[in-house]
Structure 1
Amino acid sequence: MTPTSAGWRAVSSAAPRTRRRAARSVVRISPGRTRSRSAPARPPEAFDPAGAVGPDPGRQRRGGTGARRSPVATAVRKGERRTRKPPTNSRTTRLRPAPNPLRRRNASGCRAAQRSRGRRLPLFRGCTARSTVTRRGRGASGGRDVLTLVARHRPGALIRTGRKALGWRQADLGARLGCSRSTVSRLEQGSLSDLALIRRAAGEVGVPGHLLIASLDLTTRMVPKVADDPSPAQEDPMRRRTVITAVGLATPLSLLGGLETALAVTPDPSGSPVPLDARLAAARTLFDAGRHTQLVEDLPGLLGDAHHAAEARQDVDYARLSAAYTLAATILNKLGAYRQSRLVADRATTYANISGSPLAAAAAARELAAVLRHQGQEAAAQRHIEAAVARVEATGLNNAAQASAYAQMLASSAYTAAIADDRDQALAMIREAARAARDLPGQAPPGRLFPITPAAIDLYAVGVHWSLGDAGAALEAGKGLHPAQFATAERKSRMHTDLARAWHLRGRPEQAAAELLKAARVSRSEVRDRPPIRQIVTDLQSSHPRTAGVRELTALVGPTR
């Protein structure tokens, strides 16, 4: 056979008596030889790193009898880019291996992603959230290393492990997530706390959901580390938005000890035979009826049952758990327990992001924005609301539930902007919310997560103008409202308290007292348990004790000091 242009020829590496066996071996190349007819060499492109290799001639001369894998095959199996040089002898030289399939790329990115999406990598098989690591960091076992990362609560390192197992670069993963390489780097290092992005990245690289949850330390019974809340900022006295402490103001606050214990250590399941969805609906009914004491008593058991259900690691179970924490944050915000509400709202947001439900995330973001407003962090509250609005809008608003969520988040965004004194943004958003709610029914169907109606948007407009300090515009926005437009006692009473705030801001104590009396007759807890409303009652008692309705209001609500 004619020599090649490089002066190399291929021959069989086996002895003549084992020519048939050598034909199945990896052909070695040596200068000055011809290619054997009985042992045709496979081209380098057909090199199979997982296939068998022939006996090593050097080992046979040393008396060895077993076959040893080629260093080239070993290097390719490990996914290395470089080629290791085999032992030097007169019959062998270096053979270029085939490219690693994990390194091959096409126009859409890594080809391996098309095979791995939605499938669990072998690296993660056999790993469970309940597994233990007896000797951390020892050995090169993939499963043991994965469990070590889970035990150390390093979700970013888990994502990095999955990415490297696929042979991807950080830029490859970033292209799939729609972010930059530096963002992926910060995510893997643990300096990025975007749970939605973490969940998407884990799904792309094949990290199982239960391992991700365990690495986030969401299923343990430990107190999460939450930064100390700033002290509530004093609000503008011109608008009577004074934030006061909640200690000793109302009967339900004496029950917060049990709820705080449930937040510190997740309670055991209550063992109730009632389905969790029915219990969530019953708890929401207690809130709508103004039965705050009973709701606070029931919340620890509800949270325990929701945590127990979430052990199934299904998205819908995490959405239910988020809904339970969102309801807890709602009642804590109403009672003025903002420090506890901050922790609860953070948990609601975490579980909502894990569930992947944009509506659950929007409900949690709404409560988190509310507590941030009370803590004087209006800019952070607005960012949360705007992100939630964008997520809901990205659903396409294809059904009434999504449309009502969108209208609700626009109204919340308007109120948040008003608290931040951004008049133009607040008025623009409340007009957009009115347009979004135009086609919604006058009464929301039972069980809807966001039971917003056109009348509810008008009530939000009252709050927006009051927050902007315009009492006349607030009363004008609420002149067409009446209790029959609202289905629950909480909303009926809220209508009266919002109008009372507007009258109080305008300096009309008699009208303010009249509205508060109407609110207390519908739901006494709406006046008694809300610190801002109790502050108005206190002002009326001290400044206008002889005004009509103030004495009756005091008797109905009770002393405020």
Structure 2
Amino acid sequence: MGPSSDLGRIFRSARQALDLKQGEVGNAVGYSASAISRIERNKMRIDLDTRLRLAQVLRMPPERVSGFPAPAHLVIDTAGNAPVPDEDDAMRRSTTLLGALAAGASAAVSAGTAEALPALALDDALFPLPRTGPALLRTLASATPAARETFTAARYSDPSQDLPSLLAAAEATRDATAGQARQQANGILARAYVMAAELAAKQHSDTAWVAADRALAAARATGMPIPTGEASRVLAITMRRAGRCSSAVRLLTHEAAQLDPAELRTGAVRTTLMLTAAYSAAAGHDRTTALALLDEAAESVERRTHAAPDGLFTVEATKTQVDVYRIGVHNTLGTPDEAVQIARDLNIDLMSTAERRARAWTDTARMWQALGNRQQTFAALRRVQQEAAQEVRRPAPRALTANLLFGPTRLPGLREFAVRTGAVPA
């Protein structure tokens, strides 16, 4: 029996030793009880990041699960968890996958608790988009940046509720137009699906595959490099989460090579592709490539120091963003000590959106947790909540909070924080 076949048993034994239910473990890491069951039965392949989050919740040393091979030969089909031959097939599935994002809804919370991250409920089923007719292009064009504004403000319930209607209208408009109007509709559709993929990824929902794949199909139909680069980035994130780290790096570096580093907007997109590629390389244990890509992204930002703000859709191409990625890369490589000085010199307040600031504080919390500094971990998690009440209810911050709660010493206010943010039931 090979090591990968034992991984599910290891997780099951640790959970049973703590007398935890599958639903309780799933809640801490952002998976359903049925997903935890599949993991324990070795029916669902998970990447290193997920293995480490489960180890945190189950109070296991990370080295006990980090040595298992990544699921390099399989991805999980979003509808039935069946093996799919390779990521190239997944990138062509926009014409065969059924359904798309369902309307999200903000989860109900009791009085006095933080606003919940909207439950997209997309692990087990895909739903059809609402039926609608074409819309005026100017109406769609104004609705898309409005949805982006609520996303970057980390008010996720607003775009998750509005996106299905926006996607349906954009698809109907694309299908009813031709020429330049069709190109414009495809551009709007691509960016709406980029946002849908980002929202699904925040919940670790397999629906991110669907949304990212459709985003790239629409973006390529525009023939424009910026939406194509943005869509490639979110698709690569879903590939990395499925364990296809090297494939994600190849996709990202290929797309980055198509972009002109000297042009303001394409240069900014190119930087974000290199940053995501660096993180993907780190997830695949390729330290040399990860650090080289970070350095190249940093040089790209240096050349753009005096340029105007890039105005990208969901991520930034700034020196601060590069430093945040450095922290994340070192966390993923298992060298968080190399990120401490970066974190101490970092001014997260320079980041332009609440969503990015909250994500930066989450990476900082991961760093301190890996170094065993519980007080600093808790302080960083509090900053996540201050920046974005919904972001702190994501799977990763909840897992960090649960890990603190099960630690050897009591931190004042931690139990209340864990209940308020949904890491543990009231």
Settle same-fold status: TM greater than 0.5.
yes
1:60-79 matched pairs, under 5 angstroms: none
Q: Alpha-carbon deviation of 1:416?
A: 0.7
More helix by share: 2
Q: Alpha-carbon deviation of 1:491?
A: 1.3
Q: Alpha-carbon deviation of 1:234?
A: 5.0
Shift in CA distance, 333/506, structure 1 to aligned 2, threshold 3 Å: same
Aligned to 2:418: 554
Shift in CA distance, 254/471, structure 1 to aligned 2, threshold 3 Å: closer
Q: 1:308 aligns with which of 143, 152, 172?
A: 172
Q: 1:399 aligns with which of 240, 249, 263?
A: 263
d(CA) in 2 for partners of 1:510 and 1:442? 38
1:259-274 matched pairs, under 5 angstroms: 264-265=128-129, 267-269=131-133
Are 2:99 and 1:231 aligned? no
Q: Which of 1 and 2 has greater Rg?
A: 1
Shift in CA distance, 275/427, structure 1 to aligned 2, threshold 3 Å: same
Q: Alpha-carbon deviation of 1:366?
A: 0.9
d(CA) in 1 for partners of 2:216 and 2:53? 31
Corresponding letter in the other structure for 1:411: L
SS at structure 1 position matched to 2:48: coil
Shift in CA distance, 283/545, structure 1 to aligned 2, threshold 3 Å: farther
The number of residues matched between the two structures is: 323
d(CA) in 2 for partners of 1:362 and 1:409? 7
Deviations along 1:75-130, one digit per CA (max 9) or x if unpaired, are: xxxxxxxxxxxxxxxxxxxxxxxxxxxxxxxxxxxxxxxxxxxxxxxxxxxxxxxx
Shift in CA distance, 299/444, structure 1 to aligned 2, threshold 3 Å: farther
Shift in CA distance, 297/496, structure 1 to aligned 2, threshold 3 Å: same
Q: Alpha-carbon deviation of 1:329?
A: 0.3
Shift in CA distance, 243/272, structure 1 to aligned 2, threshold 3 Å: farther
d(CA) in 1 for partners of 2:274 and 2:52? 23
Shift in CA distance, 346/243, structure 1 to aligned 2, threshold 3 Å: farther
Are 2:344 and 1:344 aligned? no
Corresponding letter in the other structure for 2:299: R
Which of the pair has the greater relative contact order for Cα pairs under 8 Å at 6+ separation?
2
Q: 1:414 aligns with which of 273, 278, 289?
A: 278
Q: Alpha-carbon deviation of 1:386?
A: 1.8
Aligned to 2:390: 525
Q: 2:188 aligns with which of 320, 324, 329?
A: 320
d(CA) in 2 for partners of 1:498 and 1:518? 11
Contact 1:442–1:485 under 8 Å retained in 2 = no
Shift in CA distance, 380/249, structure 1 to aligned 2, threshold 3 Å: farther
Unmatched 5+ stretches in structure 2 = 1-42, 58-104, 108-115
Unmatched 5+ stretches in structure 1 = 1-229
Q: Alpha-carbon deviation of 1:290?
A: 1.0
Q: Percent identity?
A: 28
1:473-488 matched pairs, under 5 angstroms: 473-488=338-353
1:288-303 matched pairs, under 5 angstroms: 288-303=152-167
Corresponding letter in the other structure for 1:512: T
SS at structure 1 position matched to 2:322: helix
SS at structure 1 position matched to 2:303: coil
Aligned to 1:148: none
Q: Alpha-carbon deviation of 1:352?
A: 1.3
SS at structure 2 position matched to 1:543: coil
Aligned to 1:107: none
Corresponding letter in the other structure for 2:195: L
d(CA) in 2 for partners of 1:289 and 1:486? 12
Contact 1:289–1:489 under 8 Å retained in 2 = yes
d(CA) in 1 for partners of 2:106 and 2:143? 28
d(CA) in 2 for partners of 1:353 and 1:242? 39
Corresponding letter in the other structure for 1:319: G
Are 2:289 and 1:425 aligned? yes
TM-score, length basis structure 1: 0.53
Corresponding letter in the other structure for 2:160: V
Deviations along 1:426-459, one digit per CA (max 9) or x if unpaired, are: 0111011000011335896374345311111111
d(CA) in 2 for partners of 1:281 and 1:445? 16
SS at structure 2 position matched to 1:275: helix
Are 2:219 and 1:361 aligned? no
TM-score, length basis structure 2: 0.69
Q: Alpha-carbon deviation of 1:384?
A: 1.6
Corresponding letter in the other structure for 2:216: T
Contact 2:191–2:215 under 8 Å retained in 1 = yes
Aligned to 2:72: none
d(CA) in 2 for partners of 1:267 and 1:237? 36
Shift in CA distance, 237/350, structure 1 to aligned 2, threshold 3 Å: closer
Indicate the larger mover: 545-554 or 453-462: 545-554
d(CA) in 1 for partners of 2:190 and 2:169? 12
Shift in CA distance, 431/506, structure 1 to aligned 2, threshold 3 Å: same
